[in-house]
């Protein structure tokens, strides 16, 4: 059987792995040797897409042409966008599937979130094919456990658009447990606390003899490391920009966001950080302490612990019955997360496996199960949200409870109210509330019925949730024993026809062309360096000495000219040269801003602020 890959399609970073014999292995990029691919996409002026770190860098200069954290937008509608999504992403204000507007040079692009995710998947696929040395056509992709049916469908659509047959969607926390379960033989009850870039999941599992059984899962698809970054953005802007972050222009906001990400990482290591923020009006140095950060984000941590409490209740276990706690997701590196999780479960969490890699490793283990190479292991997962239908009066009637082991089925019988009625309309929803409009709408199903007197047809409708957590519906007339036709109108997802069209129109990634890719990356970096330098020359001209200005400008001009040609080695060399020429100047700018920061602080202290 051909290789099945395991993919962690993350909000911030994505990874791909494969089974090398009996052990999962994560693919490293053939050039940089890096395993993580930034989940960022940026379009060059000629509409060529760039994926990964280069795209993330480019987003700072070209926010209009770039998209970060597209996972937050998968399978949702316009009405689910929050304030910040609306600020960071421009969307087409029209009903139907969500479309993102981007500007690449003079072109305006309108893309659905699955199309953007597909570009990330194609880049991962390309990397894997190089390392494995063969084509990759089938994959296991992870999703947050708390993803609803539309979000799962959207992920599967992205796979299809990337030319991958998605054999299975696996819940991220479950995948993490699988990675740990590979060497777990005795029976244990495990809690997986997964705080990713944009989502939070908590799952309780029972593991024994290779069998992983999910007892309960819960979480929040709108809570993650990004929210901590945003709290930091507002903290930074209070100290660095004249107006609050909500009013900042997109460029300033992007720069603040990049600084916040750096600050968050540094505050996980040390108790205080000094940040240099290259704002359009000049570079600012800002200090933030871990204590300040923790006060600002306490409400976010409390939300995660509250979810843990509910999920534990659902699992029928108590905190003392949990044998191990596993931390997953980059955001779980924050010390405050660790402390609070340890306090809640009454034990120190495990993090033997790199939290950045563990989900991809688990996805790869599941890929091994599906391709038959992991014969002893099996995963029994659950549906994260209750599924039901809208009944008369707009009431939500549950058919399948949350945390029911999947595959799961429910049956419901329907009849007609008037003579010769030719169809019955069924509105399927997912959620835990009692009123249909408070739950997430999945789809409308229209069941065709042969014309008969009212009340005579007896149509049994079966709702089947497969092992991916995805719903299908079948209808059968009990009297005539015939299968009835069903028309599906997904509430937010794409129709099959839409996907076909997208496949035909899809962008060509610069596949397998190393030279071109390196060229694009070198150009992006040169552009970013030139841009920063230009601002520094303008803003800090008094810090220039002797003929420094002339030398830097000459070096920059040569680099800019080289960017017009196709030699990435030349661009890299000239970049190094420029960095060398300008580094004493950069050093002086840094020292000056540090001095200013310290001075202003001592004035604050003198004035008793």
Partner 1 sequence: MHRLRCTACGQTGPAAFFCGACEAIQAPALQRAWLQLLDLPERPAIDQKLLEKRYYELSRRLHPDRVQATNPQALPTSVRAASILNEAYRTLRDPELRGRWWLEHQGGKLGSTNSSVPTDIAAFVFETHETLLDAQSSGGAKPSESIEAILVQVQEQRHGHLEQLASLLEGWPPDAAEAARLISLRDLLVALSYLATLQRDVLHARDGLEKTSPEPRQRNAAGLQG
Active site residues: 8, 71, 172, 194
Rank residues 392 and 606 by Cβ distance to partner 1 and give the closer one: 392
Cα 412 from Cα 410, distance rounded (Å) = 7
- Taking the complex as a whole, the smallest distance from the CB of residue 200 to partner 1 amounts, in Å, to 17
Question: Considering beta carbons, is residue 41 or 363 the nearer one to partner 1?
Answer: 363
- Closest contact distance (angstroms) between CB of 112 and partner 1 is 28
Least separation in angstroms between residue 425's CB and partner 1 is 7
Report how far apart, in Å, the C-alpha atoms of 199 and of each of 15, 219, 228 are: 17, 8, 12
Nearer to partner 1, 94 or 343 (CB): 343
Name the nearest CA neighbour of 344 among 329, 327, 359, 330.
327
C-alpha pair distances (Å), 299 with each of 288, 294, 304, 420 = 19, 9, 9, 57
602 by Cβ neighbours in 10 Å (0-12 / 13-18 / 19+) ranks as exposed
DSSP string over 312-367: HHHHT--GGG--EEEEESGGGGSHHHHHHHHHHHTSPPB--S-TTTHHHHHHHHHH
Task: Choose between 432 and 500: whose C-beta lies nearer to partner 1.
Answer: 432
Contacts of 262 (CB under 8 A, 6+ apart): 273, 275
Residue closer to partner 1, measured from CB, 258 or 370: 370
* Nearer to partner 1 (CB atom), residue 176 or residue 439: 439
Min dist CB 430 to partner 1, Å, is: 14
C-beta closer to partner 1: residue 425 or 580: 425
- Cβ of residue 467: shortest distance to partner 1, in angstroms? 5
Distance in Å, CB of 480 to partner 1, minimum: 17
Backbone angles phi, psi at 170, to 5 degrees: -120, 140
Output the smallest distance, CB 135 to partner 1, in A: 19
Contact (CB, 8 A) for 142 and 11: no
C-alpha 489/C-alpha 444 separation (Å) is 5
Q: CA nearest 192: which of 442, 381, 55?
A: 381
The CA-CA-CA angle for residues 184, 328, 237, to 5°, reads: 170
What whole-number distance in Å separates Cα of residue 28 and Cα of residue 516?
19
Give the nearest distance from C-beta 339 to partner 1 in angstroms.
Answer: 21
580 contacts: CB under 8 Å, gap ≥ 6? none
Least gap, CB of 85 to partner 1 (angstroms): 25
Which residues form the interface with partner 1 (CB under 8 A)?
A: 1, 167-168, 211, 306, 309-310, 313, 366, 369-372, 378-380, 389, 391-392, 397-399, 401, 404-409, 412-417, 421, 423-425, 432-434, 447, 449, 464-467
Backbone angles phi, psi at 208, to 5 degrees: -160, 135
- Give backbone dihedrals phi and psi of 319, rounded to 5 degrees, phi first: -55, -35
Lay out the sheet containing 211-220: strands in order across.
324-328, 188-195, 200-208, 211-220, 378-380
Q: 145: which DSSP letter?
A: T
Nearer residue to partner 1 within complex by CB, 97 or 219:
219
Alpha carbon distance 105, 197 (integer Å): 29
Between 74 and 449, CB nearer to partner 1: 449
Residue pair 24/158 in contact (Cβ under 8 Å)? The answer is no
Q: For the chain, how far is it from start to end, CA to CA, in angstroms?
A: 69
């Amino acid at each position: 059987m051909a290789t099945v890959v395991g993919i962690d399609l993350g909000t911030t970073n994505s990874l791909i792995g494969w089974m090398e014999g009996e052990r999962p292995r994560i693919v490293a990029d053939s050039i940089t040797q890096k395993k993580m691919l930034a989940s960022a996409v940026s379009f060059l002026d000629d509409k060529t897409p760039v994926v990964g770190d280069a795209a993330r860098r480019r987003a700072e200069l070209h926010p209009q042409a770039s998209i970060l954290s597209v996972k937050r937008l998968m399978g949702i509608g316009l009405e689910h966008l929050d304030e910040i999504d609306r600020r960071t992403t421009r969307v087409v204000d029209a009903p139907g599937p969500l479309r993102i507007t981007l500007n690449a040079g003079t072109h305006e692009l309108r893309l659905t979130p699955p199309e953007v995710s597909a570009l990330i998947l194609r880049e991962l696929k390309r990397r894997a094919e190089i390392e494995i040395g063969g084509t990759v056509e089938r994959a296991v992709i992870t999703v947050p456990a708390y993803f609803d049916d539309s979000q799962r469908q959207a992920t599967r659509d992205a796979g299809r658009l990337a030319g991958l047959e998605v054999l299975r969607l696996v819940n991220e926390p479950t995948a993490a447990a699988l990675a740990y379960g590979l060497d777990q033989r005795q029976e244990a009850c495990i809690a997986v606390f997964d705080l990713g870039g944009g989502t939070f999941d908590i799952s309780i599992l029972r593991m024994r003899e290779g069998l992983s059984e999910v007892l309960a899962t819960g979480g929040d698809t709108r809570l993650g490391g990004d929210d901590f970054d945003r709290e930091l953005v507002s903290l930074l802007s209070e100290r660095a920009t004249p107006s609050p972050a909500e009013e900042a222009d997109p460029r300033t906001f992007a720069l603040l966001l990049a600084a916040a990400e750096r600050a968050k990482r540094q505050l996980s290591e040390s108790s205080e950080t000094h940040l240099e923020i290259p704002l359009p009006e000049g570079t600012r140095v800002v200090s933030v302490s871990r204590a300040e950060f923790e006060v600002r984000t306490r409400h976010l941590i409390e939300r995660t612990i509250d979810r843990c409490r509910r999920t534990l209740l659902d699992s029928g276990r108590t905190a003392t019955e949990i044998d191990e706690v596993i931390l997953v997701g980059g955001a779980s590196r924050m010390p405050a997360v660790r402390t609070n999780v340890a306090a809640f479960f009454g034990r120190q969490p495990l993090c033997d496996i790199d939290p950045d890699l563990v989900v991809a490793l688990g996805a790869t283990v599941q890929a091994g199960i599906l391709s038959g190479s992991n014969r002893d292991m099996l995963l029994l997962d659950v549906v994260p949200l209750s599924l039901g239908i809208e009944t008369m009066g707009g009431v939500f009637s549950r058919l399948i409870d949350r945390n029911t082991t999947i595959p799961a089925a429910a049956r419901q019988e329907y009849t007609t109210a008037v003579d010769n009625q030719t169809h019955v309309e069924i509105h399927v929803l997912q959620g835990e509330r009692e009123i249909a409009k408070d739950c997430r709408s999945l789809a409308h199903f229209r069941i065709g019925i042969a014309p008969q007197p009212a009340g005579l047809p007896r149509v049994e409708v079966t709702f089947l949730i497969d092992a991916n957590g995805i719903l299908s519906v079948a209808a059968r007339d009990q009297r005539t024993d015939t299968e009835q036709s069903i028309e599906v109108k997904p509430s937010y997802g794409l129709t099959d026809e839409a996907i076909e069209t997208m496949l035909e129109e899809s962008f060509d990634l610069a596949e397998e062309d190393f030279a071109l890719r390196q060229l694009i990356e070198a150009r992006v970096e040169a552009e970013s360096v030139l841009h920063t330098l230009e601002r520094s020359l303008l803003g800090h001209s008094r810090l220039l000495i002797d003929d420094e200005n002339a030398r830097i400008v000459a070096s920059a001009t040569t680099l800019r000219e080289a960017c017009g040609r196709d030699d990435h080695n030349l661009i890299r060399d000239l970049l190094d040269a420029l960095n060398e020429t300008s580094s004493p100047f950069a050093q002086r700018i840094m020292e000056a801003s540090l001095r200013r920061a310290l001075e202003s602080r001592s004035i604050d202290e003198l004035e008793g602020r």
